[in-house]
Structure 1
Amino acid sequence: MAEEYISLQGKFYLSEITNGVAGAMRYIGNVPEFELEITTDQVEHQESTSGQRTTDFVLTKTTGVNFKGQLEEVDKENLKYILSGMQTDVASTVVTDHSLGTVKAGEEIKLNGYGLTAVTFKTGSTDIDTSKYKLDLVFGTVTFKEAIAGPVTAAYTTGVVSHTTIAGDFNKEYELFFKGINTATSDNMAVRLWRTKKSPETTFPLIHEDLGQYEISGQALSDTDKGLDATLGLYGHVVTIPKAT
């Protein structure tokens, strides 16, 4: 009898579900780890006739399917998914008369924007000479090299950026699809979960010695309509696709 070993690699896709309908599949990049976990809540019954109190029946009350894995590619959509956030493209804005109050030498002050251009500072109606401060235009900060007498106001133009909120959207559901190959047999294997919901609990390292990896976890939700078809399953299914002969 031939051995049937399994060693999987493959690609993962998410399809956002809107009004119960899964949209276009989105490839989420390299996933070095991913696993499914089946959970149950069971009640055991012990008989009382043999004198051994053996278990003679097990009632499965609930079932569940959980997942966890790691993402390595962090584009806008993956960042939103990892952080359970909402993504917004922020347009360029012209800011005038932004009050900084009284500034002290050596203090670094954050302005309201990034990728700044056309930056000027005034006290009253008098321009402050550029030699008196140092700008970080990319991050939108200014450090004054000396104290400035009187309140300071700033004027600048912000650049176009993308904002992703943190822990701002916990309700999105996605269909998950895996295109896999069993490298032990050269058979293909697919996994399809009808409805998944990511847990908001995650870690997001901000300092790396190597390439970043971002943990994701969540659960599959049942689709009772599909569960009526034994070939589809309540949560989804695994498909083994024999290699072409």
Structure 2
Amino acid sequence: MSGSLFSLQGYIRTGEVDAAGKIGKMRWVGNVPEATLELATSNTDKNESFSGKRLQIGRLATGTTAALNLTLDYWSAANLALGFQATVADIAASTVTGEVFPSGLVAGDQVRLDHPFASALVLTDSATTPATVPPANYDLVGHGKNIVEVKNVGSLQQPFKAAYSHEAAENIVLFSAPGKVTFLQFDGINTETEEPVIIDLWRVRFDPVSSLGLINQEYGNLALSAAVLYDTTRAADAALGGFGRMLQKKAAG
């Protein structure tokens, strides 16, 4: 009997693709508990009309499609960029002075700072000679440290103004890279035989993630889907193919 049983596991890696189609540096997306490649053809059938039995006499292939479904376990800026058709534009650490708050604040109001991950916050009022707001009159709250909760406005003149430092941030700009195409490789192993299996997909375009759980009782994940697009340049090479290829070691002998 030829062949073997199989059970696959492995690494999923993506790579940048430049305008000329050249594959750049690769990146492992982390643990992927589920990955499925779906291939399909669409057809138009033709039945004869002369025998009285309407028998099928032809099938015309009208299209070929390939799709990919992945579940990503790792939360990272690069993975989120795949899921939200995004670019990552880092914001450098810096300091802020004179950031003006809304007027008419009362105790219990909350104000959002322009930058998260703030520290060394100091508030001053708008008097001709600005007075420093006592630190006991406000608090920096929340996980992201960019919400100021007012506890007491006293007789200080509003609007208040904020000065603070903020840390660097990964800024994931949603839907800023629609239509971006990446290379994807499955670097796998058949755990039944311990033999490697490689699948190269030349042009993969991810759809935006359809749902992201913002409150999780268990581990969260990113469920992604993508279209595998036809590469007209590589299609001219019979060893590469238009959609991709699968590589495994040739048996000895």
Common fold by TM > 0.5: yes
Q: CA RMSD in A?
A: 2.0
Q: Is the 8 A contact 1:188 1:242 kept in 2?
A: no
- Measured in 1, the distance between the counterparts of 2:49 and 2:211 equals 50
Q: Is the 8 A contact 1:16 1:172 kept in 2?
A: no
Matched residues, percent identical?
28
Q: Is the 8 A contact 1:180 1:188 kept in 2?
A: yes
Q: Is 1:191 matched up with 2:199?
A: yes
- Measured in 2, the distance between the counterparts of 1:2 and 1:229 equals 29
- Measured in 1, the distance between the counterparts of 2:239 and 2:141 equals 59
Q: SS of the counterpart of 1:126?
A: coil
- Measured in 2, the distance between the counterparts of 1:215 and 1:121 equals 43
Q: Is 1:113 matched up with 2:115?
A: yes
Q: Is 1:223 matched up with 2:228?
A: no
Deviations 1:51-79 (A, max 9, x none): 11111111001111111111111222112
Matches within 5 A, 1:161-172: 161-172=169-180
Matches within 5 A, 1:112-151: 112-123=114-125, 124=127, 125-136=130-141, 138-149=144-155, 150-151=157-158
Could you tell me which runs of 5 or more consecutive residues in structure 2 were left unpaired when the two chains were aligned: none
Which residue of structure 1 lines up, in the alignment, with residue 246 of structure 2? 238
- Alpha-carbon shift at residue 225 of structure 1 (Å): 2.5
Q: Is the 8 A contact 1:120 1:155 kept in 2?
A: yes
Q: SS of the counterpart of 2:171?
A: strand
Could you tell me which runs of 5 or more consecutive residues in structure 1 were left unpaired when the two chains were aligned: none
Matches within 5 A, 1:47-196: 47-100=48-101, 101-123=103-125, 124=127, 125-136=130-141, 138-149=144-155, 150-151=157-158, 152-196=160-204
Q: Is 1:14 matched up with 2:14?
A: yes
| Structure 1 residues 5 and 14: alpha-carbon distance in aligned structure 2, compared to 1, 3 A threshold | same
- Measured in 2, the distance between the counterparts of 1:164 and 1:187 equals 38
Deviations 1:19-64 (A, max 9, x none): 1211012111111101111122211111112211111111001111
- Measured in 1, the distance between the counterparts of 2:15 and 2:25 equals 6
Deviations 1:155-180 (A, max 9, x none): 22222111112222113211111111
Q: Which moved more, 1:116-125 or 1:14-23?
A: 116-125
- Measured in 1, the distance between the counterparts of 2:244 and 2:213 equals 32
Which AA in structure 1 matches 2:175?
A
The TM-score with structure 1 as length reference comes to 0.92
Deviations 1:67-115 (A, max 9, x none): 1111111222112222211111111233222221221111121111122
The TM-score with structure 2 as length reference comes to 0.89
